Chain A
Amino acid sequence: MKIIIAIKQVPARDSQLRIASSKQWIEDADLTYEINEPDAYALEAGLQLKEQHAGEVVVICAGPARAAQTIREALAKGADRAIHIEEEKLDTFDPLATARLLAAALGREAPDLILTGLQSDDLGYGQTGVILAELMGLPHATLIMQVEKKDGCIRVKRELEDGWFQHVEMPLPALLTIQSGISKLRYATLMGIKKAKTKEIKRLTAGELGAAAQAASIAVDRVYLPERTKHTQLFDGSPKEAAGKLAEKLKFEARVI
């Protein structure tokens, strides 16, 4: 089974975010980056499927040169090779444009299965995977907790709201977006890190892919920190002082002690 995993590099989860002077994005010069967490679960699901059914795991990532680090880490965890669509200026706010690049790069790969995370931790559109499926003419399912391969098809467990689940069957090739937390993530082994250095990373650009820029359908006015709508009473001082003041409020204002 040939499995493609689409991953994204995003600012580390606990980054202190500041708004860029252009007000079009955040100040990104001094941030550290990591794999988008939901995509790490997609990679894990792909690696497990390969272990069960044999085949190949190919990682694809659209992003600037720094994304190579995240790609190497995926190779160290066990992906066989990678495709890096190297673009310094991806249109951050247009998941359709990103999906078009991915679709063009995957045109000749003929995968059986494409996996990606259910959403990105930075933009949070939660759309790129489904858009990619539509562009490539593939059936899809989102929020997947489990993948079971059968003859020429797969049976997946899809998460619904309020604790409900549903099984869905579909033919291959197909695209799935994977829910976070479905299995324990593996660490790269020393051997894996060593091997990753010799694995192939194919570098492509949007120009080479012939994915001409099309008019964006969303325009960004400005990016900003949200204003506090509720006035939180914050208690400062030492942990002991702050805890003491909070306990007083819980007893005399909220009346829960």
Chain B
Amino acid sequence: MSILAVLEHNGQAFHRMSWETLAAAQQLAKETNTTASAALVRSGGQSFAAELARKQLEKVYLVDHELLNDYTPDGYSLALRQLIDQTKPALVLFPHTYQVRDFLPKLATSLGKVAVSDVVSHRIDDGQLVLVRQLFQGKVNVDVRFAGEPPNLASLQAGAYRADQMAEGTAQIEVVKPQLSPADIRTKPLELFRESQRAVDLGSAELIVSVGRGIKEPENIALVQKLADALGAELAASRPICDAGWLPMERQVGSSGQTVAPKMYLAVGISGAIQHLVGMKGSRTVVAINKDANAPIFEIADYGIVGDLFQVVPELIDAIQKLK
């Protein structure tokens, strides 16, 4: 009855969230007095498994099959289903990556379970595990427990656990060969590609002013550009603004855009859905201007003004110019 962390690897490196999941598994194992193991699905991934064998783990399972060379939801969920059936973990943890979102619900359903997805924290209450999730894009929280028999499954939100808490040690590697046939894999993954070279490197900007849905109309972007100019900041945006074509995709901050950590990140009319927050929460100073006092952006803001951006931003430009 142990904890299994299923880690993600793209063939070159572990996904950074894998280490957070591994640290979480170690922490939970300690708190519930059990052991943690890790699993990696990767054809011929011995050297990557060896990297895991230097962590404090009971076992490292390398799930190895030539049909797992490329990621497919069919291949991964069938292989992991077999691993879970064989090793019988009480709890299986995953990083809440795009890939995990693609196969975990399928895997859970094949086990007759519902995975608790996108967990932000946990506590042990009377010997029972309580997991915290966010509802309404971060405006509301919910505490949930597993009601069924093990194995139970959960995925962890980016940044919810700290990779630097991971403990070193030694672990034994076990290679697991799942039973898979080509007919099991119904989807055919083709090439990976990027749309365009990025001309704007937001990652190296010292100051960023970022604009979201609250701006309402494309012609209003000019107001936020003026604020960015007054500060000498780079202009960025949340996803809906780039989707609408109001700013180019290369200015998008968030899980599907760029990750930034400037000295100051000033969010104008951005409510702060988690997909956006993961891209900027490492910023040294976060400033938010938003009309909704309950907007999740205020969870991480150092300074804030609750108000109408169309009234506040012109005044702020004015005040900044006077202080210069």
Contact = CB atoms under 8 A, between A and B. Distances in A.
A216 B105 CA distance: 15
Interface string A217-241: 1111111111011101111100110
A217 B146 contact: yes
Given A131-B109, A181-B243, A256-B207, A168 B264 contact: no
A256 B264 CA distance: 7
Given A17-B294, A161-B256, A256-B285, A143 B102 contact: yes
Interface in B76-132: 97-99, 101-106, 108-110, 112-118, 130
Contacts of A168: 187-190
A19 interface: yes
Nearest to B96: A126
Interface string B282-312: 0011011000101010111111111110011
A169 interface: yes
A135 B112 CA distance: 10
B192 A122 contact: no
Interface string B138-165: 1111111111100010000000000000
A161 B187 CA distance: 20
Given A130-B106, A131-B105, A181-B244, A219 B207 contact: no
B217 interface: no
Contacts of B306: 234, 236
Interface stretch (B22-30, B42-50, B56-64, B314-322): B314-322
Task: Tell me what chain A mostly uses at the interface: helix, strand, loop, or mixed.
Answer: mixed
Given A26-B140, A167-B190, A168-B188, A127 B300 contact: no
A183 to B, nearest CB: 9
Interface of A: 11, 14, 16-17, 19, 26, 93-96, 99, 121-128, 130-131, 133-135, 139-143, 155, 159-171, 180-182, 215-226, 228-230, 232-236, 239-240, 242-244, 246-251, 254, 256-257
9 tightest Cβ-Cβ pairs between the two chains A and B? A181-B243, A243-B315, A247-B319, A130-B105, A139-B186, A127-B105, A221-B143, A239-B311, A167-B190
20 contacts: A17-B136, A26-B140, A125-B105, A135-B109, A160-B99, A162-B259, A163-B198, A163-B249, A163-B257, A167-B190, A181-B244, A215-B148, A217-B114, A219-B146, A221-B144, A234-B305, A240-B319, A254-B303, A256-B206, A256-B285
